[in-house]
Amino acid sequence: MSEREASDFFERVWGVVADIPLGRVTTYGHIAAYLGSKRAARTVGWALRAAAQSGLPCHRVVNRYGGLSGHAAFGGPHVMEDLLRSEGVTFVEGDDEVPCVDINQHLWVPGH
């Protein structure tokens, strides 16, 4: 992917993130698939890291299991969780120590 293509992709990611409704989450993979690049979930993560201080609701993007894998960009492991909880997002017990959103309750799929 050229620098120009990456820049365009990042901007498209940010447009999707801006549309995630309050109290809902989506996944890196759902964003990538919506943008026509199903295998670009990691690149979606890079776009979110680049936008962490932008005011976009990047905290509403979780991994495919509902895990909070992007918390490092938010100043600590509990900040992302606190932001989501303040929006009414609920959590379930995960297999490990990573907080896990109730994905069945809060998933928003772009384009649906």
Q: Does residue 102 lie within any of the structural domains?
A: yes
Q: What is the pLDDT of residue 98?
A: 76
The CATH number of the domain where 8 resides is what? 1.10.10.10
Spot the catalytic one: 13, 25, 33, 58.
58
Specify the pLDDT at position 47.
95
Q: Would residue 112 count as lying in a domain? A: no
Q: How many CB atoms lie within 10 A of CB 97?
A: 7
Q: Whole-angstrom distance between the N-terminal and C-terminal Cα of the chain?
A: 28
User: Residue 53: inside a domain, yes or no?
Assistant: yes
Residue 10 domain boundaries? 3-106
pLDDT at 1: 63
Report the alpha-carbon distance of residue 107 to residue 2 in Å, rounded. Answer: 32
* Within-domain flag for 30: yes
**Residue 100 appears among annotated catalytic residues:** no
Residue 36, Ramachandran bin (φ over 0: left; ψ between -120 and 50: alpha; else beta): left
Domain membership of residue 54 (yes or no) is yes
**Ranges under pLDDT 70 in the chain:** 1-6, 76-77, 94-96
For residue range 65-80, list pLDDT tens digits in order: 999 887 777 776 688 9
Q: What is the pLDDT of residue 104?
A: 95
Q: DSSP characters for 43-64?
A: HHHHHHHHTTTTTS-GGGEE-T
- Measured CA to CA, the distance from residue 71 to residue 91 in angstroms comes to 15
Number of domains the chain is built from: 1
Structural domain contains residue 31: yes
Answer yes or no: is 111 within a domain: no
CB–CB of 34/65 below 8 Å? no
